[in-house]
């Protein structure tokens, strides 16, 4: 054990019970071989270091709507994740088209033609679905780790969270290359967790206007200024490979800037929710993954493309 009491770790009892009953060796949770346990001792829920990580993450969320856990995995783990992403990238389904900042069809009767809700912008992105990610994938190991889930749960401080039950959207590898981008938008979920794997040679910046809207105010004036190209208030998150990001994207306007060059941008998207059983609709599956029926069993691994 590497520390004293981790005050504020809301799931300590649950994690400790699971840990004492199941964690006999590091190999019981493959993610522990990937995580920098000196910086993020998720294997020791009583650690003071871990308590500081959680407190810092909560403070970042409260102030900015995101918590950055830099160097969450080791340099060796980044190498493994990069190689794994290269082996999976060709399996990505590409979706492209115009989209709005609100990820929905605009109500043309309720909003004027020049209103931000009726502004269309291009997006291009590829996604490898959960059912195509190899069983031996290090990205899958991070997502399926109860220790990682417990850490995210503690930082969010929203009560118990659950992995998605969706065989497509529970875990994705986002693949973006030359000319790809994600338009300015708000998420339709309260939070997203991502693991940066590989940066593009040029572009691909994750740009955020933190906490634009609330439960009571949309602040369409701010959204309109950003859509018109005003950079006021935009924060660029480095997304250095190895960074775990907890992001509350329903309230913060954000985008991925256009990518240039031959190096692909790879980011793991880890799906959690505050309710069990989360699934994607068939329409979303068809658009994002090009199919609606999952494979019965994921492959053990993919050879390099």
Output the pLDDT for position 16: 31
How confident is the model over 183-204, as a mean pLDDT? Answer: 97
> What 8-state DSSP symbol labels residue 84?
H
CA dist 253 and 101 (Å) reads 8
Nearest to 233 by CA among 258, 262, 213, 214: 213
Nearest to 11 by CA among 35, 38, 46: 46
CA dist 195 and 167 (Å) reads 19
Output the pLDDT for position 5: 33
Q: What is the DSSP string of 44-83?
A: -TT-HHHHHHHHHHHHHHHHHSEEEETT-B-HHHHHHHHH
In the predicted structure, residue 301 carries a pLDDT above the cut 80: no
In the predicted structure, residue 13 carries a pLDDT above the cut 70: no
**Three-state SS sequence of 261-289:** CCCCEEEEEECEECCCCCCCCHHHHHHHH
φ/ψ of 71, rounded to 5, equals 50, 45
Q: Does domain 63-289 correspond to CATH entry 2.60.120.620? A: yes
pLDDT single digits (tens) 208-232:
999 999 999 999 999 999 999 999 9
Q: Where are the domains of the chain?
A: 63-289
pLDDT single digits (tens) 90-113:
999 999 999 999 999 999 989 999
The model's pTM = 0.89
Q: Three-class SS of residue 149?
A: helix
Candidate from 13-27, 55-69, 168-182 with smallest mean pLDDT: 13-27
In the predicted structure, residue 2 carries a pLDDT above the cut 80: no
CA dist 158 and 250 (Å) reads 15
Q: Using an 8 Å Cβ cutoff, are 226 and 165 in contact?
A: no
DSSP-assigned beta bridge partners for residue 253: 209
Q: Band the pLDDT of 304: cuts 50, 70, 90.
A: low
Residue with tokens 């964690």: 23
Contact residues for 231 (Cβ-Cβ < 8 A; gap 6+) = none
Nearest to 156 by CA among 250, 81, 93, 286: 250
How confident is the model over 230-248, as a mean pLDDT? Answer: 97
Average pLDDT across the chain, whole number: 90
């Amino acid at each position: 054990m590497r520390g004293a009491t981790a005050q504020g770790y809301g799931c300590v009892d649950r994690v400790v019970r699971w840990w004492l009953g199941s964690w006999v060796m590091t190999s019981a949770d493959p993610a522990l071989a990937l995580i920098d346990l000196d910086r993020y001792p998720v294997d020791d829920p009583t650690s003071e270091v871990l308590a500081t990580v959680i407190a810092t993450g909560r403070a970042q969320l409260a102030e900015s709507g995101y918590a950055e856990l830099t160097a969450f995995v080791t340099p060796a783990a980044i190498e493994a994740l990069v190689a794994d992403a290269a082996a999976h990238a060709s399996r990505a389904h590409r979706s492209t088209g115009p989209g709005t900042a609100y990820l929905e069809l605009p109500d043309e009767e309720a909003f004027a033609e020049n209103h931000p809700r009726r502004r269309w912008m291009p997006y291009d992105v590829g996604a490898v679905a959960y059912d195509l990610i190899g069983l031996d994938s290090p990205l899958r190991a991070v997502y399926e780790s109860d220790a990682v889930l417990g850490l995210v749960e503690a930082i969010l401080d929203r009560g118990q969270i659950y992995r998605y039950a969706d065989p497509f959207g529970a875990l994705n590898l986002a693949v973006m290359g030359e000319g790809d981008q994600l338009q300015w938008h708000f998420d339709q979920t309260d939070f997203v967790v991502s693991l940066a794997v590989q940066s593009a040679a040029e572009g691909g910046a994750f740009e955020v206007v933190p906490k634009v809207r609330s439960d009571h105010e949309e602040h369409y004036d701010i959204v309109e200024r950003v859509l018109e190209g005003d950079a006021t208030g935009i924060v660029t998150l480095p997304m250095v490979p190895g960074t775990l990001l907890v992001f509350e994207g329903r309230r913060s306007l954000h985008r991925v800037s256009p990518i240039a060059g031959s190096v692909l941008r790879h980011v793991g998207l880890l799906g959690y929710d505050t309710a069990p059983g989360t699934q994607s609709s068939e329409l979303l599956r068809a658009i994002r993954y090009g199919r609606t029926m999952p494979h019965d069993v994921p492959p053990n691994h993919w050879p390099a493309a």
